[in-house]
């Protein structure tokens, strides 16, 4: 049997930050309106080193608050005050999305040890990944 290529799937455990104290900061970015009618894909973030990430209207709002002075819980509280909705899960997912895209830098009171430590890898073949995703989806239904 031929070797099946493995895919490395990053998870929240791979984040090099303690999400309880992490103060996310976005630096040297531009946010562009993509002109999409879909609010989940309305904007793009571009960094000075040409990294891109498509973001929603809510994620754009949160990104404007990410100045390195607020924890994730404080960002969620600000979102709740301004938008009237609970968004902690969305904010955590947004942090993960930015980290995966290589856009996120840490705040002034938190240092990343990601470069110092070797990242754990979770290897799974594509067919195994599809099987587990289908099983998870059926579990939710």
Summarised one tens digit per residue, pLDDT across range 81-105 is 999 988 888 999 899 899 888 888 5
Q: What does the alpha-carbon distance between residue 24 and residue 73 come to, in Å, rounded to a whole number?
A: 11
pLDDT of residue 137: 67
Q: How far apart are the first and last CA of the chain?
A: 35
Average pLDDT over residues 63-82: 92
Q: Which residue has the higher pLDDT, 8 or 71?
A: 71
- pLDDT tier at 6, thresholds 50, 70, 90: low
Please report whether residue 136 resides in a domain: no
Please report whether residue 2 resides in a domain: no
Please report whether residue 70 resides in a domain: yes
Please report whether residue 134 resides in a domain: no
Split into its structural domains, the chain has a count of: 1
Q: What are the pLDDT digits (tens) for 11-20?
A: 667 777 787 8
Which domain does 32 fall in, by range?
Answer: 18-112
Structure tokens at 125: 């073949």
Please report whether residue 72 resides in a domain: yes
What's 89's domain CATH number? 3.90.930.60
HSE-CB for 45 with a 13 A CA cutoff: 24
Please report whether residue 59 resides in a domain: yes
Q: Which residues pair with 52 in a beta bridge?
A: 46
135 touches 124 (CB < 8 A): no
Query: Is the pLDDT confidence value at 118 over 60?
Result: no
* Percent with pLDDT over 90 in the chain: 28
């Amino acid at each position: 049997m031929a070797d099946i290529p493995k895919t490395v799937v990053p998870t929240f455990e791979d984040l090099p930050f303690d999400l309880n104290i992490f103060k996310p900061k976005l630096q040297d970015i531009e946010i562009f309106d993509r002109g999409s009618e879909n609010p989940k894909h309305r904007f793009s973030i571009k960094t000075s080193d040409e990294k891109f990430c498509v973001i929603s209207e809510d994620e754009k709002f949160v990104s404007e608050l990410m100045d390195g002075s607020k924890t994730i819980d404080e960002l969620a509280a600000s979102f709740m005050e301004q938008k009237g909705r609970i968004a902690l899960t969305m904010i955590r997912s947004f942090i993960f999305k930015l980290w995966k895209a290589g856009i996120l830098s840490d705040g002034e009171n938190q240092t990343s040890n990601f470069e110092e430590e070797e990242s754990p890898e979770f290897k799974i073949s594509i067919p195994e990944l599809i099987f587990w995703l289908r099983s998870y989806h059926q579990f939710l239904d």
